[in-house]
Amino acid sequence: MNKHAPIGVFDSGIGGLSICRAIRHVMPTEDMLYFADTEHSPYGTKSDDFLRYRTQQILTFFQEKGCKAIVVACNTATVHTIENLRSNQLMPVIGVEPGIKPARQATVTGKIGVLATNQTIASESFARLKHRICADIEVYSQPCPDFVRIVEQGAIDSPQTEAAVRHYVQPLLDKNCDQLVLGCTHFSFLRDSISRFVQGRAEIIDTADAVARQVERRLGEAQLLNHSQRNASLHFFSSGCPDQASSALQNCWTVNLQSTRRVCI
């Protein structure tokens, strides 16, 4: 496999680009392809069978593009499809899950808060994760349905964002949570807004950073790290309107996209 090949990253919308941002910070010379499956967003309302079928189609798309690794930058897709995607695959396939483990290790009060979607909080895998890692501490789960919409609209710095952050985060601070886990890739783009509201009263655990380090580790093990000194590229693909999605992205992350294309998969 070619170490100069790109990394493929996908999500149901632009939230997974927070993973691309973290990867770019850790591995600035790695090329990436991003696929936003906006035509089928949100994934949380889809059946397991559909998600397995759809993510396999996306995996095939990345394989045809010659990707050397795939990142499933969506908690819902990771929960329901990651094992299926990894079967019979030689390339690394990396998923995401809420960063409960580092929060468990860092908490002093014994209380952590998880900001996530309704689908993640209701999933069996999240329940198993809490039971396995946090049996001796209190975990408070806060569904944040407005956060995804805010990010998809690119309304990061707005009064509605400040109001939503206050509405979702204050109850966790009231419960004396000293660790706040961002349990959705979309939420990484709201980290600064959350941090301004928290004002040091709790530590914010961003899953994107850990995923980027995992990608680096897996590529290193496979001797696929790209150590060239050139500028890396990021190409944006969407099953919906790419211009609308890329416009919202620019309000979340100032990045140069080498191309934006709508593709039918």
Give the span between the Cα atoms of 258 and 104, in whole angstroms.
40
Q: Are 36 and 13 in contact (CB under 8 A)?
A: yes
Same domain, 91 and 124: no
> 133 and 111 in one domain?
yes
Q: Would you say 99 is a known binding-site residue?
A: no
57 and 148 fall within a common domain: no
Which position has the token pair 């909080």? 121
Same domain, 233 and 194: no
Instruction: Report the distance separating Cα 59 and Cα 65, nearest Å.
Output: 10
Contact between 179 and 203 under an 8 Å Cβ cutoff? The reply is yes
Residue 1 lies in a domain: no
My answer on whether 92 and 171 are in the same domain is no
* pLDDT at residue 251, as a whole number: 65
| pLDDT score at 245 | 66
Pull the structure tokens for residue 124: 């069996």
Name the domain boundary from 184, 207, 230: 207
Is 76 labelled a binding residue?
yes
In a domain, 55, yes or no: yes
Q: How many CB atoms lie within 10 A of CB 259?
A: 12
Query: How many C-beta atoms surround the C-beta of residue 128 within 10 A?
Result: 10
What CATH number did the domain enclosing 217 receive?
3.40.50.1860
Cα of first residue to Cα of last residue in the chain, in angstroms, is: 24
Q: What is the reported pLDDT for 65?
A: 96
Closest-CA residue to 155 (of 243, 244, 246, 252): 252
Q: For residues 168 and 187, what is the distance between their CA atoms, to the nearest angstrom?
A: 12
Is 48 among the annotated ligand-binding positions?
Answer: no
Q: Answer whether residue 133 is part of any domain.
A: yes
The answer to the question of residue 2 being in a domain is no
**Any known ligand binding at 11?**
yes
Longest dimension (CA), the chain: 51
HSE value, Cβ hemisphere, 13 Å, CA-based, for 181: 31
Active site residues: 74, 184
Positions of the chain with pLDDT lower than 50, given as ranges? none
> The domain containing residue 248 runs over which residues?
7-96+209-262
43 is known to lie in a ligand binding site: yes
Identify whether residues 134 and 63 lie together within a single domain: no
Q: How far apart are CA 47 and CA 68, in angstroms?
A: 28
Q: What is the number of structural domains in the chain? A: 2
* Domain stops at, among 207, 231, 252: 207
Q: Are residues 202 and 215 in the same domain?
A: no
pTM of the model: 0.88
In order, the DSSP letters of 131-200 are HHH-TTSEEEEEE-HHHHHHHHTT--SSHHHHHHHHHHHHHHHHTT--EEEE-SGGGGGGHHHHHHHHTT
